[in-house]
Structure 1
Amino acid sequence: MSNAELYGKGVFTTIAMRAGEPFLWEKHWRRLVRDAGKVGLDLAQHTEESTRKALDERTIRNGRARITFSDESESALWGGDGATSIRLSIITAGQRVIPKSFRLTISPFSVNSQSPLSGVKSCNYLENILALDEARERGFAESIRLNERGLVTGGCMANVFWTRGSRLFTPSLSTGCLAGTTREFVLERFDCREAEADVEVLRRADAIYLTSAGLGIAAISEFEGRELRVDEHPIMRALDRM
């Protein structure tokens, strides 16, 4: 059996497709290469050009595409000969539906900011899925995960931003949050402070937003039972201008 099957060894990214073009392609490719290096994947046989060509052949105009590089080499712990085999796979789907009432809670499952997979979008993603399932079983659309120090990292499947007065904030990468491509897009366009903040800061926030390639930028209507204003902060129109 392969390292991907046994250990989830691989990396992926989800890209928003807009009018047939992969949005923020350069950012996604840069992160794929970086994350592949962190988990020990050699992408030498998959160039940026060949990967982009494979994506273009999917012919999806509007929606999302997931690009995955997985280690199909046989595990050395189970008699593998050490031969390298990295597989590229691409799946596509329509855009995610944003719930009209976007309710957010706190996850009971913490993030280990000292993990070697911290900040890596690896195929070992079951922990995030279980955290999301737990939130949905309680009637919420998403949940905020804290790290081992009680600091906000982000959602199960998204980065988080919040406002207090006129200021915009997001967790710093030191918390163990994912360096999301939409997060990077927002940081390049707005005066935003990257902060180490505990959950009480979110409880006092005027507005909360989740960002990801699948969601775009979504405003939260309720956090931990407290209704939030779904205001017209410029962040909500950032993607419309592209």
Structure 2
Amino acid sequence: MNEIETIFQKSPESKTWLCQQNSTLPNRAMNFGDGLFETMVWEKGQIRFFERHIQRLRGGMQILGLDSEAIDEAGLLDLLTINYPTDRKRVRWNIYRAGSGKYTPERNDVFQTLLITEFNGAPIIKQKADASEKVRLFPTLWSSFKSLNALPYVLANQERKERGLDEIILLDNRGFVSEAGASNIFWTKDGMIYTPSLSCSCIDGISRKVILDHLERNSIPYLEGEFKLGELEKASQVFVSNCLGVSYLERFRCGEFSTVPLQFLQLIFH
């Protein structure tokens, strides 16, 4: 079975989603990476943390100068409800600038695709992790959003595979911990939860927001900041999170960590 089970597309001229496998080529997604995406979980007749996905998507569209009026939340939910009323699916929503042109855009309206696949949750434990030796993340206007310019993550995960790792940690251009290969990163030490701040060029992850909001509401001590790799080696527990859930790191270099699930995370991602 192919990873992609179903593709729906919506052009600027269309008011409905069409089940269609072939995209018009060339397009600005292919030529310039001129767009954004959101990876979401559809379950129990709703998209998990949908309002937060929409908020981040609109923020990214504003940075790229894309027309956010094309975003129809209700229409998207109707489509999923009709086609997958009781299923649990992974939904990747791509939005890229319509038209052609060269570096200078000719239009601000958007072409949209939905890639629907089976949901496979994050593994509970990732046994072996290390820092990337090849890839650093640099600050940009769009570094906190999920853009179609994803080469740093492609190269980092290629390195992870070549080195036989289960997870790879990315640093920013100054050497501070930024994030994992496809997730935000957290760790605990002496009753405090730590995570890199957005100043470290990490993605402003949806699960990251949800976790930090939970910590804030429940007066659980946490700190966002700029941390060197040595802080990870001193941690008692390290976990990474994205829309698919939470994974606990068992080892990072010479350090070994607890992999006992944290109860509050189980409540958030049940």
* TM-score, length of structure 1 as denominator length: 0.89
Q: Aligned to 1:61, which of 87, 103, 107?
A: 87
Q: Aligned to 1:74, which of 87, 92, 100?
A: 100
Among all aligned residue pairs of Structure 1 and Structure 2, give the percentage whose two residues are the same amino acid. 23
| Shift in CA distance, 69/54, structure 1 to aligned 2, threshold 3 Å | farther
SS in structure 2 at match of 1:145? strand
Provide the C-alpha distance between the structure 2 equivalents of 1:97 and 1:217, rounded to a whole number of angstroms: 6
Q: What are the equivalent positions in structure 2 for 1:4-23 lying under 5 Å apart?
A: 4-23=29-48
Q: Hey, what does 2:8 align to over in structure 1?
A: none
Are positions 1:196 and 2:226 aligned together?
Answer: yes
Count of residues in correspondence between the two structures: 237
Task: Determine if contact 2:124/2:247 at 8 Å carries over to the other structure.
Answer: no
Provide the C-alpha distance between the structure 1 equivalents of 2:207 and 2:66, rounded to a whole number of angstroms: 24
Are positions 1:221 and 2:245 aligned together?
Answer: no
* Displacement after TM superposition at 1:235 (Å): 3.9
Q: What are the equivalent positions in structure 2 for 1:113-152 lying under 5 Å apart?
A: 113=139, 115-152=140-177
Task: Determine if contact 1:152/1:199 at 8 Å carries over to the other structure.
Answer: yes
| Shift in CA distance, 95/33, structure 1 to aligned 2, threshold 3 Å | same
Q: Deviations over 1:43-100 (max 9, x none)?
A: 223333233334444416223211111113112459x8x2444111111222245165
Q: Hey, what does 2:178 align to over in structure 1?
A: 153
Task: Determine if contact 1:98/1:218 at 8 Å carries over to the other structure.
Answer: yes
Q: Hey, what does 1:42 align to over in structure 2?
A: 67
Q: Hey, what does 1:92 align to over in structure 2?
A: 116
* Displacement after TM superposition at 1:2 (Å): 2.7
Provide the C-alpha distance between the structure 2 equivalents of 1:99 and 1:188, rounded to a whole number of angstroms: 22
Task: Determine if contact 1:160/1:170 at 8 Å carries over to the other structure.
Answer: yes
Determine which structure has the larger strand proportion and give its number: 2
Task: Determine if contact 1:155/1:210 at 8 Å carries over to the other structure.
Answer: yes
* Displacement after TM superposition at 1:156 (Å): 1.7
Task: Determine if contact 2:137/2:152 at 8 Å carries over to the other structure.
Answer: no
Provide the C-alpha distance between the structure 1 equivalents of 2:41 and 2:127, rounded to a whole number of angstroms: 20
Q: Superposition RMSD on alpha carbons, in Å? A: 2.1
Q: Hey, what does 1:29 align to over in structure 2?
A: 54
* TM-score, length of structure 2 as denominator length: 0.80
Q: Deviations over 1:160-203 (max 9, x none)?
A: 01000111111111111111111111111113211211111111
Structure 2 regions of 5+ residues with no counterpart?
1-25
Provide the C-alpha distance between the structure 2 equivalents of 1:46 and 1:232, rounded to a whole number of angstroms: 37
Letter in 1 for 2:100: E
Letter in 2 for 1:64: R
Task: Determine if contact 2:233/2:254 at 8 Å carries over to the other structure.
Answer: no
Structure 1 regions of 5+ residues with no counterpart?
none
